[in-house]
Amino acid sequence: MPHWRQICLNQPVTRKILLLSIFFPLSAGPAPACTTFLIPQSREKVMGKNYDWTHNDGMLVVNKKNLKKTALAAKPAQWVSRYGSVTFNQHGRELPLGGINEAGLAVEVMWLDDSSHPPAGQVPQVNELQWIQYQLDNYSSAAELAANADKIVVAKVFAPVHYLACDKTGECASIEYISRKLRVRVGKDLFVNTMANDTYNSSTAFLRNFKGFGGDRDIPSGEDSLSRFVRASSLAKNYVQQNPAEEYAFGILQSVHQTDPEKATQWSIVYSLAAGHVAFRSQGDYKLQTLAISAFDYSCSQPVKTLELNQGWSGDVSGNFIPYTRALNRKVVERGLKDTGAELPPELIDEIAAYPESAICLENPPLNLSYKVSVDESFVEGL
């Protein structure tokens, strides 16, 4: 793995290079084993996610709309956020691992070793975590996200991943980069609304061997990706409406949770998409925490709010959010790096901690430019 000084050797020490170089050591971490699913027949359109990693520190962030942003990439996408959102962040603000926006669209990421990204060409870039924030900022449904998925490309600097996005109508989209090509499935193109850590094609091919999906094999009990995919898909399919959907979803998450210390389940998250409600638990402290998306002010003229995770909260935590600070962001970034064994100088950590402050609040963004995606570096100044 290249040292940060090698990455920057003989290159101008620009802000962009510093921000990109900070992420390279992260890919040295253990391959996690996340699982995500939707229960489409539930009234609440419940979506569940297990985040499997090495630690559960991080923060929830209330992200604002009408913010003019430039991505952390060599050919950065530039846009103005249309929707506010609440996200789970472990590597800094603007770099979420998942979340839900005020329109009822949720996006989650999972590790995928088979992921391979195409060259960017002239397509605007985002890194694989900011891709999540971009989607939550811009789209209100899985179909809309899928229709625009080729407008940007992921520039991999963190890890090989794929995504599941679901909305309040119960429609989902899977997004993968396979053999350097974008692969998008949406709505009826999905056999099940589940993803783990194998490609969607290989996972569904395996699933068809089991009872309830065309095969005669019993549902497996292992912790490997394909077994978790089958188990989550089967349990989601067998949900009946008279059961509390949120509680049932947590039962599925418990069924597919990981125990390996290097990739243990750290967060179990349930989104009730139709209701705009989030419930979650952290490893080692299983108190249920909840919040309503409607509880927050998404106007960019008001301070960004955050909630540090792993602090022993319980119940409705909407009122526990405090104004965002660069100091907390730096703490979160440092903790995320430390766990991967990365040794970076303080000035690099300062850069990523300060990055969110580059976004500009627009009180009345011009409608013809607000949601443009561009690689023109004069775009931000020209708005």
Please write the tens of the pLDDT for every residue from 317-360: 999 999 999 999 999 999 888 776 666 788 888 999 999 999 99
Q: Does residue 19 carry a pLDDT above 60?
A: no
In a domain, 121, yes or no: yes
Q: Does residue 313 carry a pLDDT above 60?
A: yes
Per the structure, the count of domains in the chain is 1
In a domain, 64, yes or no: yes
Structure confidence at residue 31 as a pLDDT band (50, 70, 90) = low
- pLDDT greater at residue 156 or residue 167: 167
Structure confidence at residue 372 as a pLDDT band (50, 70, 90) = very low
CA torsion through residues 280, 86, 166, 108, sign: negative
Please write the tens of the pLDDT for every residue from 191-235: 999 999 999 999 999 999 999 999 999 999 999 999 999 999 999
Q: Does residue 13 carry a pLDDT above 60?
A: no
Q: Which domain holds residue 42?
A: 4-247+265-294+310-377
Structure confidence at residue 242 as a pLDDT band (50, 70, 90) = confident
In a domain, 136, yes or no: yes
In a domain, 215, yes or no: yes
The mean predicted confidence, pLDDT, of the chain is 88
Q: Please tell me the pTM assigned to this model.
A: 0.90
Mean pLDDT calculated for residue range 172-201: 98
In a domain, 301, yes or no: no
Please write the tens of the pLDDT for every residue from 253-305: 999 999 888 889 999 999 999 999 999 999 877 899 999 999 999 999 999 99
CATH number of the structural domain spanning residue 128: 3.60.60.10
Q: Does residue 371 carry a pLDDT above 80?
A: no
Q: Does residue 311 carry a pLDDT above 50?
A: yes
pLDDT attached to residue 117? 87
- pLDDT greater at residue 35 or residue 375: 35
What are the distances in angstroms from CA 6 to CA 10, 96, 219? Answer: 9, 27, 49
Structure confidence at residue 365 as a pLDDT band (50, 70, 90) = low
Structure confidence at residue 121 as a pLDDT band (50, 70, 90) = confident
